[in-house]
Structure 1
Amino acid sequence: MQERDQARHEVERAHLMSDVRGFLSVLRRVPNDLLPFDWVKHLAPEGEHQLGVQSIDVNRIIGSVDRYREFDRHYLPRERHLDERWIGVRAAQLQGKELPPIQVYEVGGRYFVKDGNHRVSVARRQGQKYIDANVIRLQVQVPLDGTESLKDIIIKGEYARFLKLTRLDELVPHHRPILFTTPGRYDKLLDHIRTRQYYLDRKPGRAGQEPVTWEEAVVSWYNRLYRRITDNIEEHDVMLRFPGRTEADLYLWIMDHRYFLTQRSGQDVGSEEATVDFSQRYAPPIYQRVGQRFRLLLGGKLSAT
């Protein structure tokens, strides 16, 4: 009974910590929920592989198959009517009993619990770094970091489709990540690649040659268009002027601006001039940038800048 009394005391402290974290998440306007496994469908997993029992990092567990409402993002318990299950797991642990491995899905380097949510909650509360798990891997092309919203997952799913269609990982190993802050943008990149393919096919001196392949167009688009603009963005510190945006966001805006400048001047202005002019014309005022950076800092997403 002594073990159960201690476990009961610990679950009460866990609930208190859960309430505090919930209050802070409201103030900071950041999510404090586990990710539902159902969201994984947006990443279009292509295969399922049994990896067997292995030791996994508890802190890389970010979601649950069917109990994501019962715990917060730190796996602190929320539902008091389930306390007896938490107490039973902790009491068994205090008695030195060996607990069976949990069951998880691995998706993009993170884990979703299929069975054993209370064991994970107790482990997290005790500061346990690793836990034995029977792992089922779902093959996806983009990693997860555990902070994603549904919108983020949808965008990453679109990115996975883009990588599959372009084979960019294979054609340009170690390329810069291409991530947007808004869904529906990767189709625009595919249009850019198709336009690039059309342009390359009609360059002077290509008469009688084999048509430019899709793969050649992808590599040329990345190296000659996308990478040039992102290099200009980096060289001129443009990211600092647009907090919360990504290189990919700016790439599309700058390409549109380049087209506008070219139409106005009657000649191609080039990527660098378009980048600098866009930054000077459309960067938010300093007070707005400071406010945005402050909101990003409170939300734990300052790295997005």
Structure 2
Amino acid sequence: MENNDNLSGPSVLRTRDQARGEVERARLSADVHDLLHVLRRSPNELIPFDWVRHLRPSAEYQLGTQAIPTASIVGSVDRYREFDRYYLPKEPYLDERWIGVRSAQLQGKELPPIQVYKVGELYFVKDGNHRVSVARRQGQAYIDAQVIELNVAVPPEPGDTLKDLIIKGEYADFLKHTRLEELLPDHHEIKFTTPGRYDRLIEHIRTRKYYLDTKHSTDTPWDEVVCNWYARLYSRIVEQIRTHDVLKRFPGRTEADLYLWIMDHRYFLSERYGFDVGSEVAALDFSRHHAPPVLTRLGQQVKLLVNGGKLDEDLPLSALPEPT
């Protein structure tokens, strides 16, 4: 028995020494990642779980214990400042806990499941951040986790910023208000690059209701108005954007962005000429007169490549004319 104790003692010391060397290298890697992300002007932080509230979760479900992909763990409930987005430890005070977890792993001890929230296909750690850090550092593809799933209408994606989640939360509210998912399951995605735009779509739908009510001298049901707005206005302009390849002249923007601008431009042209010019004329005229210059567009495309397709700021357009 005494002999076994003598053998186990040095084994524990060796594993702790190995783990200590590993955590020091892990923090050095975190410093390198920080520098690279500064140069790229891209974030290197975990996503705070508190941001998820912007997605308007409607319910939560206990899924029990299951193996989840470690690469899909993108955030933490309360330790998001202590690790980078690769779950590398950033501060020396994390070392002892990290060493303890890694040492136990090296000794073959079974570690308890972590606890996570699942949002879409991404995970946020409730308990077990150091176990995740060690697992990611060792290239472990899966980790056992007790999973609580939050139901959201518009799920997050890797690399989402706070602005992205705010926009997706507004999209969720829009879908709930319009019931577009139920009425038209195959509708075009309506995604903006700037917060506050879905309220303007609701205004367009209400204006459409006023037009239909007046035309037919009746109170048009809301669902019918939504479908009519989508078919006669939104979808039609999107088809014009695609037919004439307008989107390529506005790097980093979306069809929804262009829909609002083209609708404003259509109103401006119609006021100028005294008749409705239609969506195609408005789309072509807007593209011709208000797309950024070629050199500006090239610069914007480079920025998008550097930022992984994300806008780091609102990209400028030529000054838009005000309707008269």
How far is the alpha carbon of 1:146 from its aligned partner? 2.3
The answer as to whether partners of 1:201 and 1:212 remain within 8 angstroms in 2 is yes
How far is the alpha carbon of 1:84 from its aligned partner? 1.1
The residue identity in structure 1 corresponding to 2:23 is: V
SS at match of 1:75: coil
TM-score (norm: length of structure 2): 0.89
The residue identity in structure 2 corresponding to 1:172 is: L
Counterpart in the other structure of 2:275: 267
How far is the alpha carbon of 1:211 from its aligned partner? 2.6
Counterpart in the other structure of 1:286: 294
SS at match of 2:248: helix
The answer as to whether partners of 1:62 and 1:73 remain within 8 angstroms in 2 is yes
Per-residue displacement from partner, 1:114-164 (whole Å, max 9, x unpaired)? Answer: 000011111111111111111111111101112122111111111111111
Per-residue displacement from partner, 1:192-236 (whole Å, max 9, x unpaired)? Answer: 111111212233xx35xx531111111111122111111111121
Q: How many residues align?
A: 301
Counterpart in the other structure of 1:220: 228
Counterpart in the other structure of 2:309: 301
Matching of residues 1-305 of structure 1 within 5 Å: 1-203=13-215, 206-207=216-217, 211-301=219-309
- Mapped partners of 1:220, 1:129: distance in 2: 48
How far is the alpha carbon of 1:303 from its aligned partner? 9.8
- Mapped partners of 1:21, 1:63: distance in 2: 17
- Mapped partners of 2:111, 2:40: distance in 1: 37
The residue identity in structure 1 corresponding to 2:301 is: R
The residue identity in structure 2 corresponding to 1:191 is: E
- Mapped partners of 1:2, 1:154: distance in 2: 48
- Mapped partners of 1:195, 1:6: distance in 2: 68
Per-residue displacement from partner, 1:2-44 (whole Å, max 9, x unpaired)? Answer: 2222211211221111111111111111111111111111122
The residue identity in structure 1 corresponding to 2:304 is: L
- Mapped partners of 2:67, 2:226: distance in 1: 40
- Mapped partners of 1:4, 1:289: distance in 2: 54
Could you list the runs of 5+ residues in structure 2 that have no partner in the other structure? 1-12, 316-324
SS at match of 1:144: coil
- Mapped partners of 1:121, 1:220: distance in 2: 51
- Mapped partners of 1:303, 1:72: distance in 2: 21
- Mapped partners of 1:23, 1:86: distance in 2: 23
How far is the alpha carbon of 1:108 from its aligned partner? 2.5
The residue identity in structure 2 corresponding to 1:40 is: V
- Mapped partners of 1:273, 1:294: distance in 2: 30
Q: CA RMSD in A?
A: 1.6
The residue identity in structure 2 corresponding to 1:42 is: H
- Mapped partners of 2:121, 2:231: distance in 1: 29
Identity over aligned pairs, percent: 66
- Mapped partners of 1:97, 1:54: distance in 2: 19
The answer as to whether partners of 1:226 and 1:251 remain within 8 angstroms in 2 is yes
- Mapped partners of 2:123, 2:100: distance in 1: 24
Could you list the runs of 5+ residues in structure 1 that have no partner in the other structure? none
- Mapped partners of 1:2, 1:238: distance in 2: 64
